[in-house]
């Protein structure tokens, strides 16, 4: 008899359950206070490192967990069910920063930076600028050659993890006349002369996750701080973001699942006309459609992650997963809030937070319009 198909194997299920238990014990009690304070609890960040969640895919030789990209996606999803702010901290670390070093760093750079990124130092990925959003390579930040290296000048906006980060992957143009072919990736560290973490944004959602401006004024870097070949920063950025979009899809699928879980629990407790509102068919129909869309978003995300781990083409599937999961997250969070009625509009329940947190999914790491453009090109 053919055994039943499973989405996760036993090892993956055990790992997922471990992360889910951690999120319930360590994150849920802090969710509201971190959101109100707009601060990530430093002790919680240390626990994320302690559980090896900040270097999931990094080989053990560099201090990581030596696991799979798929397991990193499971981590992001499970954390997002409880708090998407925490999920995005882990997401950026794993799918963007760690993968930049794994795929593009020299052996010396891997030895220098990956153990720190796995052990206790948060990383940030600095591509966006005031004048370069979807057109990410219309950047104004410049890297001018000097004796023994480069001088970096410019500013970066919307940089996730910037307040907590010690290690930054920063993109600058070394040859503006060459356009995007002049873009180069550099490794910067907090405290370097001329390098400042500036204004912190006051955001609608994912408020505990820091989003800051970076200022660069004659920041001197040596050749050992160039990540990948000079002039190939566009490839570093594009290939990393293709993987990162699966992480955002996982964050949004997890957010939608969390909102659904709370809505299910509330509709079974809340009574009107002498019975739980879950007993009304109209409520059941809404919950059934919510659950169906959540499952579809999850499966699309898992499929893209499996393709990536298998070394198969995955760019179209990653864009589809990010596009669809972000739509599902916003819709499910909105439906969940309405099922809570008036309580959903208050901070007594987490429904309003899921709703606020969901909006960013359509914006960062490639807007909905850019995902559709990518998908269309690959049809």
What does the DSSP 8-state code read for residue 276? E
Distance CA(32)–CA(38), nearest Å, equals 10
Phi-psi region of 326 (alpha: psi -120 to 50; beta: other; left: phi over 0): alpha
Catalytic residue among 129, 164, 243, 365: 365
Q: Which residues contact 89 (CB under 8 A, 6 or more apart)?
A: 40, 45, 48, 122, 160, 161, 164, 209
CB 228: neighbour CB atoms within 10 A? 21
Let me know: does 160 contact 211? Beta carbons within 8 Å: yes
Distance of CA 122 to the CA centre of its chain: 13
Count how many Cα atoms sit within 13 Å of the Cα of residue 244 in the half-sphere of its side chain: 25
Euclidean distance between CA atoms 216 and 221, whole angstroms: 11
Beta bridge partners of 196: 215
Provide CB contacts within 8 A for 236, sequence distance 6+.
Answer: 100, 103, 104, 169, 171, 185, 227, 228
Q: Which residues does residue 227 pair with via DSSP β-bridges, in sequence order?
A: 185
Spatial CA neighbour of 236 closest among 59, 67, 87, 102: 102
C-alpha closest to that of 238 among 76, 374, 107: 374
Residue where the block lists tokens 């405290």: 191
Query: Is residue 161 within 8 Å of residue 124, measured between CB atoms?
Result: yes
Active site residue 28: no
* Interhelix angle 10-22/69-82, nearest 10 degrees: 30
Q: List beta partners, residue 151.
A: 144, 220
Q: Which residues are catalytic?
A: 365
């Amino acid at each position: 008899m053919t055994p039943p198909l499973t989405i996760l194997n036993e090892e993956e299920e055990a790992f997922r359950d471990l992360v889910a238990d951690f999120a319930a014990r360590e994150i849920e009690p802090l969710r509201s206070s971190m959101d109100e304070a707009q601060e990530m609890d430093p002790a919680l960040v240390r626990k994320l490192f302690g559980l090896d969640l900040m270097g999931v895919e990094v080989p053990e030789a560099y201090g990581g967990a030596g696991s799979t990209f798929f397991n990193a996606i499971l981590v992001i999803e499970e954390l997002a069910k409880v708090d998407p702010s925490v999920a995005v901290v882990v997401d950026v670390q794993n799918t963007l920063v760690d993968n930049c070093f794994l795929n593009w760093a020299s052996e010396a750079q891997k030895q220098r930076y990956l153990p720190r990124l796995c052990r206790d130092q948060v990383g940030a990925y600095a591509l966006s600028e005031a004048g370069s959003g979807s057109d990410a390579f219309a950047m104004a930040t410049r890297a001018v050659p000097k004796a023994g290296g480069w001088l970096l000048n410019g500013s970066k906006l919307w940089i996730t993890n910037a307040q907590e980060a010690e290690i930054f992957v920063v993109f600058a143009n070394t040859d503006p006349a060459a356009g995007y072919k002049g873009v180069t990736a550099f490794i910067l560290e907090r405290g370097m002369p001329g390098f400042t973490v500036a204004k912190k944004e006051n955001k609608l959602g994912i408020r505990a996750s820091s989003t800051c401006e970076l200022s660069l004024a004659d920041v001197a870097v040596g050749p050992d701080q160039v990540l990948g070949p000079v002039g190939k920063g566009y490839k570093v950025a594009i290939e990393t973001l293709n993987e990162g979009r699966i992480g955002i899809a996982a964050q949004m699928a997890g957010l939608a699942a969390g909102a659904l879980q709370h809505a299910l629990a509330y509709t079974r407790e809340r009574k009107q006309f002498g019975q739980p509102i879950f007993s009304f068919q109209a409520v059941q129909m809404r919950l059934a459609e919510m659950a169906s869309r959540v499952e579809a978003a999850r499966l699309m995300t898992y499929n893209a992650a499996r393709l990536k781990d298998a070394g198969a083409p995955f760019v179209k599937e990653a864009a589809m997963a990010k596009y669809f999961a972000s739509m599902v997250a916003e819709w499910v969070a909105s439906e969940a809030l309405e099922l809570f009625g008036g309580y959903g509009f208050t901070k007594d329940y987490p429904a309003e937070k899921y709703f606020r947190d969901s909006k960013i999914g359509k914006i960062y790491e490639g807007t909905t319009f850019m995902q559709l453009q990518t998908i269309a090109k690959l049809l």
